[in-house]
Structure 1
Amino acid sequence: MSQQTITETALLRQPGLLACLVGRNVAAFSSQVQAVAVGWQIYALTHSAAALGFVGLMQFLPMVALIFPAGHVADHFNRRRIVMTCQLIETCSAAVMAVASFEHVLGPWGIYAMVMVFGACRAFEMPAQQTFLPSLVPAALFPKAAALSSSLFQVASIAGPSLGGVLYGLGADICYALCAVAFGTSAVATGLMQLRFTARPKQPVTLQSVFGGIAFLRRKPAMLGAISLDLFAVLLGGATALLPLYADTVLHAGSIGLGLLRAGPAIGAVLMAAILTRWPLNRRAGRVMFLSVAIFGVATIVFGLSHSVPLSVFALMVLGAADVVSVMVRGALVQLGTPDEMRGRVSAVNMLFIGSSNQLGEFESGMLASAIGAVPAVVLGGVGTLIVTVLWMRLFPGLRDLDRLDEIESD
């Protein structure tokens, strides 16, 4: 038996890993189905683009308000129970939406209220859930486990919207009922995880404790550099926010072309995650991360200048693949380089940075495109990403010189 096969077998035999992957990715799949159903239903009820924007706002506000307290909770209470509780609340909320839709009593404000509930649950669920993987697998197997998890997540991100769109034709209540079953399945899988909880001394809730993740990152320049690099790259390179405009006015590709463009980044991400699962990144991780962000910027520029649908889809696939490499290195730094008692709060900061960059990046791209045009906006975003990459290589030499991911240790 080859060493590669032995390593893969060792990974799959890690107690609790399969349950962790099922719990995380079934929940991600359900969230994608629900997002499609909510978008279609709110627009059908209001015929308002602003209403679609409010859906995003109703999810974002609870995250901003609760993410730091959620990180504190994740570091002082049973993380598995936190995630299970959130997933059970999501199950009940989706069931309520299914019944209300079936009875035709679910209006816009009801949808906004339910979306806020989901946003609050995700704020508490994600920091706790992000700590599972390094607790279940040894550092030597973490890169493979992270790549496998990322690959499954991307598959869920592709399948969820596709199935959600098909099922919505049968009714929003069918979509929400499926989501309730999927969230319930995630809760059961999370409950089956073999994850020990070590009770920690209870600490009073203080500003110093709640914002401890920020203070920790200030003492870890390589980790701070990785998180902030990803933030600015996504903030500047938010080309995906303009895909409908590109499909309509630049590529003249119609709805089928838009579907291909939207699938591009996810397809590239799945392929790269599969490659990293088979051949994990073992050396020069920091330099590879910077190279991947630079490729992300170049792919953004190519997409911005392209007038060919195949070339545009290919550029988006490269963009998605490069993003996975950056995400994997950052994830290893954050999870393996953080002591277990701080992982919840540091994951909360990471979530806030990345979540904010995605939404602010869409806002920045939209505003800049409306001012100077879509093509110049996307190209400038790609150039900005390249500039930030060069600056960060000089500002964070420790990140640039990072070598092996499996040798990252917490202090």
Structure 2
Amino acid sequence: MQQTTKAFNLPLLLAPFISRLGSTLYLFGLNWFVVQATGNAALLGVIQAIGGVVLFFGDLLCGVVVDNFNRKRIVVSAELLSVLGCLACAWWLDPLHITAAPLITLTVILDVGLAFSLPAAKAMIPELITLAGRQRFNAVSNTLIDLADICAPLIGGGLLALHWLNLQGFLLLNGTSFLLSFLLYLSIRYQKPTGEASQLGVKESLLTGWHYVWQRPKLVEAIVLGGLINVLYAAVRLVLPYDVNHLYGGDSAKYSYLLVMLALGGILGGARLTLARREPNRQQNYADLALAAGALLVAGLWADYWVLLVASGLFGFCYSCFEIRAITITQNLTAPDYLGRMFGILFLAIDAFQPLGSFIFGFVTDWVANWTLVIIGSLLVLGLALINHWYQRLIR
């Protein structure tokens, strides 16, 4: 029986929004309480680095799993794992004496779930959403996720100001969000398609997936650009709480506003592509990422809170536009049998260098403070030039 596609799917739209709201709220609390307890960003860098290692190995295998098994069952199982992980680590954590062990354990659990749920959910979109409605669906989905990124710091900042919750409470809120997204994914009517991947073993599946991608330069380019911008995005997220604590008075509200501007920029980027009528193209991605690099360079050279606030909004706008286009291009250029492996490779590229990047930038931020933004912006400019040169040679 052939899968029925529609222009819209409410549970598939809402589930990522709800889980993202809980996760962002938890990360907001995690970043604030850890930096407050330790006085630096080093532990955050270590936690993110370990999580990145988990994502690396998860991404290595997730594509094969997503293409061989029922994608809905994979997503549902991953969300349930995250619920149980949040509950267990909330019981383990002592909010008065924050230690690394429960936080690292939870990061491992959540990133195992993320490594399998995200590619499976993205691979379901072309099977459930029509081609004509795909970019708009991706744009609305990303806009909702960015809305979650706005709501979470506002809620988190309010909770911190009222002293209603400690880190344990933020963790329980995250578990509740995963429970709701679990129920939404469970309600989706989905039928596993049959294809070539289901007849291949793990090794053959991996090899055919890599070979398929390498024959398509636009897919290779999207993967490499995605890896670069996501590593630097994580680095920017490390700088923000450090700057607020060391340069701008340690006011949690100011940290909340930075995250709100980052997410608001993402919403505007999503709105831009929701209304766009032309097909996504690679030149637009380069223009947006160059603008993001410029915003970071200005914020790094001019250490002022209002400049950082505007730069956060511009960076969020450019990042969102790139992400939506990259996902839509990937979905449109990839055959259904290879969607899981394609997204597995994409997320593998995104996560492969994040452990090292997060670890390095956690310490670099402690050494050079706001000048870290200059380093990040310069690396983005250099990366764009090298990737474009590589792509031009690849298509000759």
TM bracket (short chain): 0.7 to 0.9
Task: Say which of 266, 269, 277 aligns to 1:269.
Answer: 266
Q: Would you say 1:35 and 2:27 are equivalent positions?
A: yes
Whole-angstrom distance in 2 between the partners of 1:251 and 1:48: 15
Partner of 1:408: none
Q: Give 3-state SS (helix, strand or coil) of 2:192's partner.
A: coil
Partner of 1:113: 105
Whole-angstrom distance in 2 between the partners of 1:152 and 1:295: 23
Q: 1:331 Cα deviation (Å)?
A: 0.6
Q: 1:347 Cα deviation (Å)?
A: 0.6
- Structure 2 CA distance for partners of 1:366 and 1:213, relative to 1, 3 Å: same
Task: Say which of 174, 183, 187 aligns to 1:192.
Answer: 187
Q: Would you say 1:208 and 2:200 are equivalent positions?
A: no
Task: Say which of 71, 96, 101 aligns to 1:79.
Answer: 71
Partner of 2:143: 151
Equivalent AA in structure 2 for residue 285 of structure 1? N
User: Please, what TM-score do these two structures have when normalized by structure 2?
Assistant: 0.83
Deviations 1:295-327 (A, max 9, x none): 111111111122332222112211111111111
Whole-angstrom distance in 1 between the partners of 2:172 and 2:320: 32
Deviations 1:214-261 (A, max 9, x none): 332211111111221232345467444322444455666854433333
Alignment of 1:298-337 (within 5 A): 298-337=294-333
8 Å CA contact 1:213–1:348 kept in 2: the answer is no
8 Å CA contact 2:151–2:260 kept in 1: the answer is no
Equivalent AA in structure 2 for residue 274 of structure 1? A
Whole-angstrom distance in 1 between the partners of 2:321 and 2:85: 35
Alignment of 1:154-173 (within 5 A): 154-164=146-156, 166=159, 169-173=164-168
Whole-angstrom distance in 1 between the partners of 2:269 and 2:394: 22
Q: 1:145 Cα deviation (Å)?
A: 0.8
- Structure 2 CA distance for partners of 1:36 and 1:394, relative to 1, 3 Å: closer
- Of stretches 377-386 and 319-328 in structure 1, the one that deviates more from structure 2 is 377-386
- Of stretches 131-140 and 356-365 in structure 1, the one that deviates more from structure 2 is 356-365
Equivalent AA in structure 2 for residue 269 of structure 1? G
Q: Would you say 1:352 and 2:344 are equivalent positions?
A: no
Whole-angstrom distance in 2 between the partners of 1:182 and 1:375: 34
- Structure 2 CA distance for partners of 1:352 and 1:239, relative to 1, 3 Å: same
Of structures 1 and 2, the one with the larger relative CO (CA 8 A, separation 6+) is 2
Equivalent AA in structure 2 for residue 152 of structure 1? L
Equivalent AA in structure 1 for residue 333 of structure 2? G
Runs of 4+ in 1 over 6 A off after TM superposition: 40-49, 102-107
Equivalent AA in structure 2 for residue 93 of structure 1? G
8 Å CA contact 1:100–1:106 kept in 2: the answer is no
Equivalent AA in structure 1 for residue 218 of structure 2? A
8 Å CA contact 2:240–2:255 kept in 1: the answer is yes
Equivalent AA in structure 1 for residue 174 of structure 2? C
Whole-angstrom distance in 1 between the partners of 2:31 and 2:238: 16
- Structure 2 CA distance for partners of 1:242 and 1:211, relative to 1, 3 Å: farther
Identity %: 21
Deviations 1:128-176 (A, max 9, x none): 1111222222222111111101101111223234434627733455434
- Structure 2 CA distance for partners of 1:299 and 1:215, relative to 1, 3 Å: same
Partner of 1:179: 174
Whole-angstrom distance in 2 between the partners of 1:110 and 1:380: 32
Total equivalences in the alignment? 386
Task: Say which of 238, 252, 264 aligns to 1:241.
Answer: 238
8 Å CA contact 1:248–1:254 kept in 2: the answer is yes
- Structure 2 CA distance for partners of 1:139 and 1:117, relative to 1, 3 Å: same
- Of stretches 178-187 and 135-144 in structure 1, the one that deviates more from structure 2 is 178-187
Whole-angstrom distance in 2 between the partners of 1:337 and 1:78: 22
- Structure 2 CA distance for partners of 1:308 and 1:139, relative to 1, 3 Å: same
Q: 1:20 Cα deviation (Å)?
A: 0.2
8 Å CA contact 1:303–1:311 kept in 2: the answer is yes
Partner of 1:406: none
- Structure 2 CA distance for partners of 1:252 and 1:353, relative to 1, 3 Å: same
Q: Would you say 1:342 and 2:338 are equivalent positions?
A: yes
- Structure 2 CA distance for partners of 1:121 and 1:298, relative to 1, 3 Å: same
Deviations 1:260-305 (A, max 9, x none): 333322221112212322x125156222111111111111111112
Partner of 2:381: 386
Equivalent AA in structure 2 for residue 153 of structure 1? I
- Structure 2 CA distance for partners of 1:136 and 1:161, relative to 1, 3 Å: same
- CA-based RMSD of the aligned residues comes to 3.5
Q: Would you say 1:61 and 2:56 are equivalent positions?
A: no
Whole-angstrom distance in 2 between the partners of 1:138 and 1:110: 43
8 Å CA contact 1:303–1:312 kept in 2: the answer is yes
User: Please, what TM-score do these two structures have when normalized by structure 1?
Assistant: 0.80
Whole-angstrom distance in 2 between the partners of 1:51 and 1:249: 16
- Structure 2 CA distance for partners of 1:396 and 1:42, relative to 1, 3 Å: closer
Q: Give 3-state SS (helix, strand or coil) of 1:169's partner.
A: coil
Equivalent AA in structure 1 for residue 295 of structure 2? A
8 Å CA contact 1:286–1:399 kept in 2: the answer is no
Whole-angstrom distance in 2 between the partners of 1:18 and 1:43: 38
